[in-house]
Amino acid sequence: MLGFLLRRTAAGLALIVVISFITFVLLSLPDNDIGRTLLGPEAPADLVAAKNAALGLDRPVLTQYADWLGDALRADFGASWFTSEDVMAAIAARLPVTLSLMIGVTTVTALASFGLGVWSGVRRGTVDRAVQILGVLGYALPGFLVTLVIVMVFAVRLGWFPAIGYIPLSQSPAGWLSTVTLPVIALSIGSIAGASQQVRSAVIDVMSQDYIRTLRSRGLPARTVLFKHVLRNASAPALTVLGMQFVGLLGGAVLVEQIFGLPGLGSMAVAYTTRGDIPVIMGLLTVTVVGVVTINLLVDVAIALLNPKSRQA
């Protein structure tokens, strides 16, 4: 197990370095005149050159990246070029908002998709067809349209939840719950639709195996066969899908945070990317990739515990 963890961790670290390097090089293309952007189009050329030199942009790209990587290893991403705000502090202030969405959506998706998928795969017939139809509808409907309908019904007309804004958990647990409920529902619908179908397929596949039929022929209770054997073996592909759904949610969070006015990483990425603020962009990229690698590592560990054969991969 230790060797498996070391291999996965090394691969994740290599991925972080490769992605950060490629992004840094692309952001540092010669036509990206940061000094001109900061000082304005009317600024004299000598002031623009001095500004670029002050930011260290007159050095070779590899030197710039090496310095950035050394600082990043100490969790130091520098300061924003436009606001002078410490990048790590800015990310830390907004991270709880996005984490609230991600954890909430992952929890809701896991519970709902496992429940619907197992129910559909075991019962089949009318239940199976109904779950499949609901899954296709949830997956096919545009996310922005679903979000707008949810806001219109539950926030505007019924007034059950606030339409915009965010209340920190430390300030008011009830207020926090009210502000993240609609965003979590909006992000969960598509995730549940896709994950439940994968769980259903995995359950049906496992239940068709010979050893399951053998267990049933020996008179084991159906509940024991389902919870001890079917779900254990069907969980691996389901966990893989949930991990992929989590990664995909990072993109959906950008839209949802914009609609609900949430001060999370998604809205921060939009605001600073349009300015070309490289320190903030690189900080956000690094935190995001580290999160993705960590989730994939946890999924791999969970699958390895459920299926020891996968450790050989």
Query: How far apart (Å, rounded) are the C-alpha atoms in residues 214 and 301?
Result: 29
Q: Would you tell me the crossing angle of helices 173-207 and 143-150 to the nearest 10 degrees? A: 140
Q: What is the CA radius of gyration of the chain?
A: 24
- Rounded mean pLDDT, 82-95: 88
Question: In this predicted structure, which of 57-71, 135-149, 273-287 has the lowest mean pLDDT?
Answer: 135-149
Query: How far apart (Å, rounded) are the C-alpha atoms in residues 175 and 162?
Result: 9
Q: What percent of the chain has pLDDT over 90?
A: 0
Q: Is residue 287 over pLDDT 70?
A: yes
Measured in whole angstroms, the distance separating CA 309 from the mean position of its chain's CA atoms is 28
Q: What is the mean pLDDT of the chain?
A: 79
Amino acid 46 reads D
Phi, psi values for residue 208, rounded to 5°? -90, 0
Q: Is residue 41 over pLDDT 80?
A: no
| 54-86 residue pLDDT tens | 877 778 888 888 988 888 888 888 888 888 889
Distances (CA, A) of 209 to 170, 203, 206, 213, 216: 49, 10, 5, 7, 11
DSSP track, 92-137? HHHHHHHHHHHHHHHHHHHHHHHHHHHHHHHH-HHHHHHHHHHHHH
Whole-number pLDDT of residue 51:
79
pLDDT band at 12 (very low <50, low <70, confident <90, very high): confident
Instruction: Tell whether pTM > 0.85.
Output: no
